[in-house]
Structure 1
């Protein structure tokens, strides 16, 4: 099947979710659409076709449209008159502002995590969650790298023990953010990011909250610089 900006690719047969009981729920549809954005099935700027999605998710138009409204309120999609729902493409300013906010929140999370890993259970879970960063294999600009990156940052916030931080940082780490950037990332960007992840992890595991905070701040400041240097075609207007 050839994809266009106005087509929604079908799920592979083995990956199609079972429809929820009682004809579907809004929460179910929201979750499926979010996952599709994270996995790259729905790209920034792509139109979400109601007919395709109701068939693939086996739900009616009512829950689907309510899911669109929720995701629009969260900033993940936009509803355009006469076009319908589109996966949102962030502007350069929006992307920079999101990274700036994340920098403050995740620096706090890293400092708290450095204290949190004094608990053996928290430490063991953190070490297990971040294990992929110690793999020396090459990283490609791919969905696998996006997933590893998200898991690493989630592990830091989880180790902080602050549930509200986890909620806020996940909202700010929009799936479309990384997917929008991924095609323009260079190998050296990914290598530098991995080195920074390892430095952050070492500081947290050493219980050095100040160093962990500094490392996260520097890491996300560099991300802002990368976003600001991206070509205009990457961004919305």
Structure 2
């Protein structure tokens, strides 16, 4: 696509980054000291940008971070692999998943259907407080993170905005199906290859989407979601191969 930047060199596999103070605190403060703690902290690390697609996860580092033996850590990695969060790589290592181009397109197709349904339901069910206030607050926090240019906060608040959207839609099963982790993995893969204009166009959709839902305007909400995900689909189709995992390493 003309608006995307020139192809970049494929990012190299990287070792697990040193755990941040927040990550270490989360690991110690969750009571679990179990596979559950590892699973939840790795997922949270993806959502906050601590773990990037292609980052290697080593048993030794995870055992040290969580104060666990290898058994619980391996159990956690097995669960994360089954959920499509991590994948096997060279030298029998495990890495945060990177999506292939077709996987990205498949994910966007599913995501559009889910978000459009959530938006439809939210338009009819988000008529009273406190739901309206929660949606306004979620968008205000996202807008503030965008204005500050804080990429980590932006990632957290965008995830939270979608969580609130699915919550006010009032269907717990729909909220359970929302693939937040895969969505963040895809964003982390493609954003380095987008121009500032591309990113700005995506961010600009959140304000009118929030307002359409508050106005109960189903047509407008669905149109905005379709436009937003349609743009994502074009990016996935036209970005250079370096933005995606190659089938050869899977």
Given the two structures, how large is their TM-score scaled by the length of structure 1? Answer: 0.88
**1:121 Cα offset (Å):** 1.6
- The residue number in structure 1 matching 2:195 is 186
Match among 212, 231, 248 for residue 222 of structure 1: 231
1:160 is aligned to 2:164: no
Of 70, 87, 93, 1:84 maps to 93
Of 42, 45, 60, 1:36 maps to: 45
1:109-168, Cα deviation, whole Å (9 max, x unpaired): 001111111122211111111113554964759333333322222222111011111111
Q: Return the match for 1:67 from 63, 69, 76.
A: 76
Please state whether the residue corresponding to 2:193 is helix, strand or coil. coil
2:20 is matched with 12
Contact 1:89 1:236 in 2 (8 A): yes
Deviation at 1:102, TM superposition (A): 0.6
Q: 2:54·2:98 contact (CA, 8 Å) conserved in 1?
A: yes
Q: Displaced runs of 4+ in structure 1, greater than 6 A?
A: none
SS at match of 2:60: helix
Distance 1:163 1:20, change over 3 A: closer
Once residues 142 and 34 of structure 2 are traced to their aligned partners in structure 1, the CA distance between those partners, rounded to angstroms, is 37
C-alpha distance in 1 between matches for 2:60 and 2:218: 51
SS at match of 1:78: strand
Deviates more, 1:110-119 or 1:169-178: 169-178
Q: Is the 8 A contact 1:6 1:48 kept in 2?
A: no
Task: Give the Å deviation of 1:20.
Answer: 5.4
Give the Å deviation of 1:33: 1.0
What is the distance in 2 between the residues matched to 1:120 and 1:19? 33
Tell me the SS of whatever aligns to 1:5: coil
Which segment is superposed worse, 193-202 or 63-72?
A: 193-202
Distance in 2 of aligned mates of 1:105 and 1:7: 34
Q: How many residues align?
A: 233
Gaps of 5+ in 1: none
CA RMSD, 1 decimal? 2.4
Contact 2:99 2:186 in 1 (8 A): yes
